[in-house]
């Protein structure tokens, strides 16, 4: 895996580059659609490739381990073959889902025991088992097993949690060194910086992560209930320590504005369920702000869904039609909204990249943030 940093801004930390994996290249900054159980909800692979122009998608270790399970994934030849996505894949480690979804979880030095949210069955995730599972899934980029502590954790809890994540990272690295990829393509482990909203903890965690010299690094534990300003402050601080010549991935963030602000602070990769989940609830993201397509004001609006949108749904369907589909809970409505929103998120990062290349990212970002903040 290589990262070729091509452009850097003179008046902010924004950068544009190309991350190359065995399944192809990714132009950064990039947004990665979330495909939790191996499918980006309501969207075909063909649409991801041709309409949304996604370059990399995500899968979740926690979900894929529970269903379809490792035997199926192994026999299928890994997730790429199972779901027929031939471009790069990244899997999250379960270090977030186990804390947000699983029941009766218990954290020890060894790992986390939990009960499945599906059938209540009992499981243990350890740094070693999570590396083994991610070997079977076979993503190009795999994430370290971490504890994502809540945004309102006190300093003592956040410190112990960050240190535990650091010890787990050492065990992840050891396991990766002892094992081989199963399907002939390279897999790279990205460590995750934690430390909640405490600058001293973030600094220490970022130093531990930077010392590993990984192919890329992630910032976790943000957008979990802390104020937005704190989130930006932590990103800024962390990126003064993480190596400049490796991609930086901000996990689980965020709104279009969050993404533009994080790019200005040196982040290269993003994922978030917002475009798909909010889309299924009728929230559409556009260059002029967000639309709640459920509102009565759209019932009689026969103009195109989004005249500035680049996917075919934007010109083919009207606002009134999508209003009707969402109200009648038609499956097609979920599909149209998801395709529109994902295409918008990919346009957003594509435009960001273009402005970084042109050298006017900072002023463009300031104007866009004002525009995106509207509710239409």
Contact 153, 178 (CB under 8 A): no
Long-range CB contact pairs, 311-317, < 8 A, 24+: 311/51, 311/52, 311/339, 311/340, 311/343, 312/51, 313/51, 313/339, 313/340, 313/343, 314/340, 314/343
Helix, strand, coil share (%) of the chain residues, nearest 5: 45, 20, 35
Residue nearer to ligand GUN on the CB measure, 165 or 290: 165
Buried (b) or exposed (e) across 108-133, using 16+ Cβ within 10 A?
eeebbbbebeeeeeebebbbbbbbeb
Residue 241 CB, shortest distance to ligand GUN, in Å, is 17
Residue 97 CB, shortest distance to ligand GUN, in Å, is 8
Is 152 one of the annotated active-site residues of the chain? no
Contact 304, 283 (CB under 8 A): no
Residue 54 CB, shortest distance to ligand GUN, in Å, is 18
Distances, alpha carbon 229 to alpha carbons 13, 150, 221, 255, in Å:
17, 16, 14, 14
Residue nearer to ligand GUN on the CB measure, 223 or 334: 223
User: Binding residues for ligand GUN, per CB under 6 A?
Assistant: 92-93, 95-96, 143, 146, 148, 192, 220-221, 251-252
Residue 243 CB, shortest distance to ligand GUN, in Å, is 20
Annotated binding site for substrate: which residue ranges? 92-96, 146, 194, 221
Residue nearer to ligand GUN on the CB measure, 192 or 291: 192
Residue nearer to ligand GUN on the CB measure, 251 or 336: 251
Is 314 one of the annotated active-site residues of the chain? no
**Listed residue (257, 244, 253) closest to 219, CA to CA:** 253
Annotated binding site: which residue ranges? 92-96, 146, 194, 221
Residue nearer to ligand GUN on the CB measure, 48 or 218: 218
If DSSP codes are grouped into helix, strand and coil, which group holds residue 250? strand
Tokens 């381990």 sit at which residue? Answer: 65
If DSSP codes are grouped into helix, strand and coil, which group holds residue 337? helix
Residue 47 CB, shortest distance to ligand GUN, in Å, is 24
Catalytic residue among 271, 306, 314, 347: 271
Contact 182, 78 (CB under 8 A): yes
Q: Which residues are identified as catalytic?
A: 92, 271
């Amino acid at each position: 895996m290589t990262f070729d940093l091509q452009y850097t801004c003179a008046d902010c930390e924004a950068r544009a580059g190309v991350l190359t994996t065995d399944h192809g290249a990714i132009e950064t900054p990039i947004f990665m659609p979330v495909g939790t159980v191996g499918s980006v909800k309501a969207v075909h692979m063909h649409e991801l490739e041709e309409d949304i122009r996604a370059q990399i998608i995500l899968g979740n270790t926690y979900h894929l381990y529970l269903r379809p399970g490792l035997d199926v994934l192994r026999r299928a030849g890994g997730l790429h073959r199972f779901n027929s996505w031939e471009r790069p894949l990244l899997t999250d480690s379960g270090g977030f889902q186990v804390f947000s979804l699983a029941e009766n979880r218990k954290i020890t030095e060894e790992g986390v025991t939990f009960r499945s949210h599906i059938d209540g069955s009992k499981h243990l995730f350890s740094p070693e088992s999570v590396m083994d599972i991610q070997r079977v899934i076979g993503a190009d980029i795999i994430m370290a097993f971490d504890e994502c502590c809540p945004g309102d954790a006190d300093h003592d809890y956040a410190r112990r949690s960050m240190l535990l994540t650091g010890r787990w990272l050492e065990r992840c690295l050891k396991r990766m060194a002892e094992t081989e990829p199963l399907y002939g393509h390279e897999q790279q482990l990205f460590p995750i910086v934690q430390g909640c909203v405490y600058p001293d903890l973030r600094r220490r965690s970022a130093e531990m992560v930077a010392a590993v010299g990984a192919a890329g690094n992630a910032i976790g534990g943000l957008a979990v209930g802390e104020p937005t300003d704190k989130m930006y402050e932590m990103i800024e601080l962390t990126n003064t320590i993480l190596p400049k010549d490796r991609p930086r991935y901000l996990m689980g963030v965020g709104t279009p504005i969050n993404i533009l602000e994080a790019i200005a602070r040196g982040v290269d990769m993003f994922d978030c369920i917002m475009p798909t989940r909010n889309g299924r609830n009728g929230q559409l993201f556009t260059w002029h702000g967000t639309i709640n397509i459920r509102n009565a004001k759209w019932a009689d609006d026969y103009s195109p869904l989004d005249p500035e949108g680049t996917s075919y749904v934007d010109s083919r369907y009207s606002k009134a039609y999508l209003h009707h589909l969402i109200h009648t809970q038609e499956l097609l409505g979920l599909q149209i909204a998801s395709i529109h929103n994902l295409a918008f998120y990919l346009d957003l990062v594509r435009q960001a990249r273009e402005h970084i290349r042109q050298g006017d990212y900072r002023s463009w970002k300031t104007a866009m943030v004002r525009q995106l903040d509207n509710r239409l």
